[in-house]
Every structure is written in structure tokens, then in C-alpha cells.
Structure 1
Amino acid sequence: MEQVIQYSESELILLLSQRNEAAFSYLYDHYSGALYTSILTIVGDQEAAADTLQEVFIKIFRQIDSYDSVKGRLYTWMLNIARNAAIDTTRSKGFQKTKQNQELSENVYDFAGSAEIKSDDIGLRKAVHGLRPEWRVLIELAYFEGYTQDEISKMLDIPLGTVKTRLRAALKELHKLIKE
């Protein structure tokens, strides 16, 4: 039976700063899914999101020594790197050209004959982007990714009560944004 390795955040940071390959594999295995989801939400293209995710992990590898635990959790630091990289991707000339040159057939037939209403079709995701970043992440994880509040609490390492309070505030704000 294979032994499952678990690291505390401080152990993980120490090993990462020592350039420990097992620690980077652990980091990728445990955080790439959540970071990819955040990047994909901003970029909107799976291939570009996957490329951006790889760039994010390279930045994390190179900049791990700049992480300061006094300023926040490791996940929050990585999420900020991912968010900034995703925004940079959308602003890049290459990405802009790809979007302009996207073949019509890629999107036209996706929804042909579909009576199903998708959240993207009614602008819900766009409204979610109008929320504060700490609320947006919670809404995306809870409603678009299907995580429970308890899972989100553990994933983001914040108290369950804080998750509930922030989600409630986010939903109220989202309601206001949609009504406008």
C-alpha cells in the first residue's frame, strides 16, 4: 500500500524553498485543479488556461522565496499569481488575435437547437466577475464547481463561519448586480 504524504503549510513552504521536487509535485497535485478553475474563469479558453497554469507553477517555483506568510496563506498567494497571470494572458496580443481569428464554426453550432439555458448565456458569470475577488472565488467554487461550504473552508483554510458570511454577502451583492 502506497504511503500518502501530507505536509503542513509551513513544512511545504520550507521544502519548496529548498527546491524539493516531491514538494512541488505535491503542490501541483493538490492545488492545480483550483488554480486552473480560477484561470479558466478569467481566460475562458481551456488551452490558454492550461498554458497559463503551467506559467503560474513556473512563477511559483521561481518566486517561492518571495512568499511572506505574514501577508497571507500560501494558497491565497498562489491564487493571486494565477489571477494576475490569467489577466496578463487575456491582455496579450497573441490571445487577442486568437479570439479575433476564432472560427465561426467553433461557437455557432455549439448552441444550435439547444433550449437549455446556461449561466454563461444569461450573463451570470459576467455578473460574478463584478464581485470582490474574495467573494468571486467563493461563488465560483460553491456554485460553478459544486464544492460544499465545508470543503471550501478547508480548501481555502478559512473558518466555515467566514465562508458562510462571505457567501451570503456575495449573493446579496450579486442579486443587486443582476437587478441593475
Structure 2
Amino acid sequence: MSPLHNLSEETLILLLKKKNQQAFSYLYDNYADSLYGVVCRIVTSAEHAEEVIQDVFVKIWKHVDLFDVEKGRLYTWMINIARNAALDYRKSKGVRNELKNQPLSNIVNREEEQDRSQNERNAQADFIGFKNILDKLKPECRVLIEMAYYEGYTQQEIAQQLDIPLGTIKTRTKAAFLQLKTLLKDYR
């Protein structure tokens, strides 16, 4: 057991800002799996997700001084870093070109792999209890949050994908986040 296992979040943050190696190891040991679950929802390849996670923890280590306790919790800050890194990776020109140049057999195999990994990602999302909350949303709200947060679509792209006017998407997204906020309050 880590000598840091009973630290408060505030003490952990102070140690991380002092670049304490044990604190960083503790952070990795306790948060890597749930951050990996977030990344896997966006980056479909396990190999690429592992690369993104490494990048995420490098960013956390380098930029922990930017974390502001007044703006939220450490875990929320780390999830945003993980999500943004995964979205950046997925939208990178090299990844898009790689996907365009795949033989048909690879695309079919990837879709089958994605179906299997979707079940794994659902289990990982459930690790942090978020899947249960998402499942309580109205279906049209859940789809919008999943497309925006986990798949990285902009509201314009969601409107195009669902063939719904952009104004409707914006209204529904706002309603979805309000519903999610209510569910999260009840969850505590």
C-alpha cells in the first residue's frame, strides 16, 4: 500500500505541484484506469488509447501548476485533459488519413472490434458510475451527450449527422446538460 493512501485531495495537489514522484505514482495508480475509460470512448484502438493516456499523464505532470482548486476538483480537471487529448488525437490529420486508407476488410474488422470494445468501454464508464447516470437521461439527451463528449462531434456536426436543425441541437444540448446536472446532484 502506498504511503500516500490517506492523503486529502488538497495535500495530493500540493505534493504534485512540488513534483513529488510518489504523489504522481499514487495519482497514476488510482486514476489511470478511469481516465483510460474516457479515452477509450473516443479513441477506438486500445494501442492508440494507451499512447493518449501516456500523453495525458505527461500533460498532468507538466501542467499541474495550472490546476485551480477554485474551479473544480482534480479528477474533473484530469478528465478534461484526457478527453481533449483523445479528441485531438482522433481529429489529427494522420489518424484521419490512416482511416481513409484502410482496406475494406480492416474497416469490417474494426467495426467488429469496436462492438466488442464498446461493451468494455461501457464497463469502464460504469467503473466511475457515470454510465448509470447517462442511462437515466432521456434517449435524445443521452445521444447528444455521447456524440459531443465521447465522440467529439461539434454541435454543427451533430446537426448534420442527425439531420436536425442546429438551433434544435443547441436547445436539446442545453436541456441535456440541465438534466444531467440534476441527476448528478441527486447522485451525491
| Band of TM-score, shorter chain | 0.5 to 0.7
Which residue pairs with 2:126 in the alignment?
147
Length-normalised TM-score, structure 2: 0.61
Which residue pairs with 2:142 in the alignment?
174
1:32 deviates by: 0.8
1:97 deviates by: 1.9
Alpha-carbon contact 2:126-2:132 (below 8 Å) kept: no
Cα gap change, 1:26/1:56 in structure 2, threshold over 3 Å: closer, same or farther? same
1:12 alignment partner AA: L
String of CA shifts for 1:131-163, please: whole Å, max 9, x gaps: xxxxxxxxx98x543737xx638xxxxxxxxx9
Query: For 1:37-116, what aligned pairs fall within 5 Å after superposition?
Result: 37-108=37-108
**Runs of 4+ with >6 A deviation:** 163-166, 175-178
Which residue pairs with 1:17 in the alignment?
17
SS in 2 for 1:145: helix
SS in 2 for 1:70: helix
SS in 1 for 2:72: coil
Count the aligned residue pairs.
143
Q: Distance in 2 between matches of 1:73 and 1:111?
A: 36
Cα gap change, 1:172/1:4 in structure 2, threshold over 3 Å: closer, same or farther? farther
Q: Greater CA deviation, 47-56 or 164-173? A: 164-173
Which residue pairs with 2:150 in the alignment?
none
**Stretches of structure 2 lacking an aligned partner (at least 5 in a row):** 146-161, 165-188
1:17 deviates by: 0.4
Q: Distance in 1 between matches of 2:27 and 2:37?
A: 16
SS in 1 for 2:19: coil
Identity of aligned residues (%): 38
Higher helix share: 2
Q: Greater CA deviation, 98-107 or 86-95? A: 98-107
Higher relative contact order (CA closer than 8 Å, sequence separation 6+): 2
String of CA shifts for 1:5-30, please: whole Å, max 9, x gaps: 31221111011001011111111111
Q: Distance in 1 between matches of 2:86 and 2:110?
A: 25
Which residue pairs with 2:30 in the alignment?
30
1:27 alignment partner AA: L
Cα gap change, 1:101/1:71 in structure 2, threshold over 3 Å: closer, same or farther? same
Cα gap change, 1:25/1:96 in structure 2, threshold over 3 Å: closer, same or farther? same
Length-normalised TM-score, structure 1: 0.64
1:168 deviates by: 2.5
Q: Distance in 1 between matches of 2:143 and 2:39?
A: 24
SS in 2 for 1:169: coil
